[in-house]
Structure 1
C-alpha cells in the first residue's frame, strides 16, 4: 500500500468459500479512503483460504485454529494498522461508497459510526440477485433497516439491537478500552459490544443503506442455542449500567422488565417448538419472573412441562 491506511477492514471467515469473494470484492472496491483488508480465517475446512490467497497482497490473510468469530475479530483488531476499524462479515456486501460516507462522519468528530442495511434474499432459483443493483433498488423502494439514530444510544439499544456488525466503523482505541468482543459468548458478541461502546461514546448513524446482509441457512443468528445469550447480555448490561443514558434519558423500569420477559419468552417458544422441554420450561419460568401476569406464558410453561423427557 502506498500510504498508511485510514481504515482497517476486519473480515472473520469460517467455511465461507461460497460467498467470501463478493465480500472481498466489495471491500477492495471502496473509494475515497485508504484501507487495508484483513481476513482472519478461523480454521476453515473448505476452499476459503485458497480463495483469499488468490487476491495476493491486496488482502492480509491470518490463519488460526477454530476459536469462534469473536476471537477472530479481536485478532483482526489487534493486527490492524489503522486507527479506525470497519467490520465486514464474509458473506455480506458493501456499497462502494460505504466507508467514504462514514469517514465523513469521522472527520466531523464521530468515533462510532453505523449505517442502515438491507436484507439480501435469494430468488426463487436459489441465487442471490446482483448486489449493487439490489442494494440501489432496495434503497429507492425503502426496504431498509430502521432509521439510523445519533447520540447516546445505550437505552435505545437495550430495546433493540439496531446496529449490525457489517455497518460499524469504530475507533480502535474505543474497542480496546471496552475489551473488544466477549469470547465467552457463542452468539450476540456484537450486541454486547455495541452496548458497552454506547456507554463510552455517541453513535453517529448514516441514514442510507450501505450494506447487504445475506440471509441463508448458515447464518449463526438463525440457529437455536441451548443458552439465551441475548437475555444474558441484557441482564448483564442492566446490572452494570442501569437504565440511564449518559445524556440523562431514562428507560422506564417496566419497559425493561417487558424487554427481559420477551427475550426469555421468545427463546422458550423456539425450544417448545423444537420439543426441548427442559430448556423451554426454564425460560418460561424466567419470563414469568419479569411479567407474572402472562396467561399465555403460563399455558406454554405447562405444555413444556408435559413434554416427554
Structure 2
C-alpha cells in the first residue's frame, strides 16, 4: 500500500475512469452511491466520467440526481432494464477504464486507486475484480471470495487469472460493481445483452474473459447492502418481477458458446451449473416450474454441494417432488428475516 501511494504521488497518469450507474426508483440509496464515488482517492491526473442512467423512475430519483448535475451526466430511458441502461452509458463514456456500479451499492475509498494501479502494472489484463462485502437483512455480512475471511497470507498485490472459469467456479469472485475494465476491450466485445434482465452481468463477465486475461485484487473494496433497504420497500413484488424475467440456460450461454472451444471444459461446465442453479431457482420462485426443472436437469451433474443445490438436484427427480419443493422454497423466501 505504501508503494502504491508513494508511486502515485509522483507519477501523473492522465487517465479517465468512466463509471456507469443505472438506477430505477433508487431515491433511498443513490445519494450514498454517488457520495462514495466522489470520495474516491484518485491517482494524480485521473479524472472521473460519471454517467447515471435513469431507467424510468417514478420516485424522487431524478430530482436527487440534479443535486449532482455539475458532477455527472444524467441520461434517461423508459424502463428498458439495467443492461440497456449500461449500454447507453457505454455509448456516452469517454474513459480509458470503465466500471459499472448499481445505485444501491458503493465502494470503499481505495477502489479506483487500487484497480487502476493494478491495470497499469499489468498491461495484459483486460480487467480486474476485487473482494466484496455483501450485507443482508439477517446478518452482518458475507465476504467473497471466502478465502478473504481467513488470516492466511497471500499476495495482496493481486494476480492474473490464467483460467477465469475455475477461479470463478470455486470462489464466485466477481459481481457488478466489483470490477474495472479496459474500455478498449468493451469496444471490441460490445455491450451486455439487453433482452436478458437477470444474470446478464454473469454472462458478460464470462464473455469478456474470452477476450483476454482477468486479474484479481484480494482486497475488499466493494459493498452491497441494498437488500437491507429494498426488502422493506415492496421487495416481494420486485423480486417476483425479476425472477419471472430469468432466461433459460440455453439463452444465457448462446453468445458465450460462439467464443468457447469445443469440447467445453469441465471448469466452464462447473460455472454453467452455478448460473443454472440461480436461473432454475428464479424460474421456480416465479412459478415457471417446468422451466426451472428443465434448467436444473440440464446441469445437475455439475451443481455444487451447498444445501440449496442439493435440494434442487434431488427435487428435480420427478414433477411431484419439484412441486413440493417449490412450495417450501417460496414459503422460505417470503418469510426471510427482514
Quote the Cα distance in structure 1 between the aligned partners of 2:322 and 2:137: 35
Give, in angstroms, the shift of residue 262 of structure 1: 6.4
> Is the contact between residue 74 and residue 181 of structure 1 (CA under 8 Å) also seen in structure 2?
yes
Give 2:319's aligned residue: 301
CA displacement 1:176-204 (0-9 Å, x = unmatched): 21111111211111111111111111111
The answer on 1:11 being equivalent to 2:21 is yes
CA 1:9–1:303: 2 relative to 1, 3 Å: same
Q: Map 1:27-66 to 2 at 5 A.
A: 27-32=37-42, 33-66=46-79
Quote the Cα distance in structure 1 between the aligned partners of 2:284 and 2:77: 37
Tell me the TM-score normalized by structure 1.
Answer: 0.75
Secondary structure of the corresponding residue to residue 177 of structure 2: helix
Give 1:233's aligned residue: 252
Give, in angstroms, the shift of residue 237 of structure 1: 3.0
Give 2:265's aligned residue: 251
Tell me the TM-score normalized by structure 2.
Answer: 0.69
> Is the contact between residue 33 and residue 105 of structure 2 (CA under 8 Å) also seen in structure 1?
yes
Q: Map 1:76-225 to 2 at 5 A.
A: 76-108=89-121, 109=123, 110-122=125-137, 150-156=160-166, 159=169, 161-216=172-227, 217=231, 218=235, 223-225=242-244
Give 1:279's aligned residue: 291
> Is the contact between residue 226 and residue 279 of structure 1 (CA under 8 Å) also seen in structure 2?
no
Quote the Cα distance in structure 2 between the aligned partners of 1:48 and 1:274: 28
Give, in angstroms, the shift of residue 225 of structure 1: 2.6
Give, in angstroms, the shift of residue 140 of structure 1: 9.3
> Is the contact between residue 278 and residue 305 of structure 1 (CA under 8 Å) also seen in structure 2?
no
Secondary structure of the corresponding residue to residue 74 of structure 2: strand
> Is the contact between residue 133 and residue 222 of structure 2 (CA under 8 Å) also seen in structure 1?
yes
Cα RMSD between the aligned structures?
Answer: 4.0
CA 1:98–1:191: 2 relative to 1, 3 Å: same
> Is the contact between residue 187 and residue 221 of structure 1 (CA under 8 Å) also seen in structure 2?
no
CA displacement 1:204-252 (0-9 Å, x = unmatched): 11110001012413597885235445563346534640368xxxxx833
> Is the contact between residue 119 and residue 215 of structure 1 (CA under 8 Å) also seen in structure 2?
no
Quote the Cα distance in structure 2 between the aligned partners of 1:106 and 1:261: 30
Secondary structure of the corresponding residue to residue 67 of structure 1: coil
> Is the contact between residue 24 and residue 55 of structure 2 (CA under 8 Å) also seen in structure 1?
yes
Give, in angstroms, the shift of residue 9 of structure 1: 1.1
Quote the Cα distance in structure 2 between the aligned partners of 1:263 and 1:301: 22
Give, in angstroms, the shift of residue 156 of structure 1: 2.5
CA 1:92–1:38: 2 relative to 1, 3 Å: same
> Is the contact between residue 11 and residue 38 of structure 1 (CA under 8 Å) also seen in structure 2?
yes
Quote the Cα distance in structure 1 between the aligned partners of 2:261 and 2:39: 42
Bigger mean CA deviation after superposition, 261-270 or 25-34: 261-270
> Is the contact between residue 16 and residue 91 of structure 1 (CA under 8 Å) also seen in structure 2?
yes
Secondary structure of the corresponding residue to residue 111 of structure 1: strand
> Is the contact between residue 281 and residue 305 of structure 1 (CA under 8 Å) also seen in structure 2?
no
The answer on 1:242 being equivalent to 2:261 is yes
Quote the Cα distance in structure 2 between the aligned partners of 1:261 and 1:205: 22
Quote the Cα distance in structure 1 between the aligned partners of 2:109 and 2:277: 40
CA displacement 1:241-292 (0-9 Å, x = unmatched): 0368xxxxx833xx6656656655665566556654443454455457989x
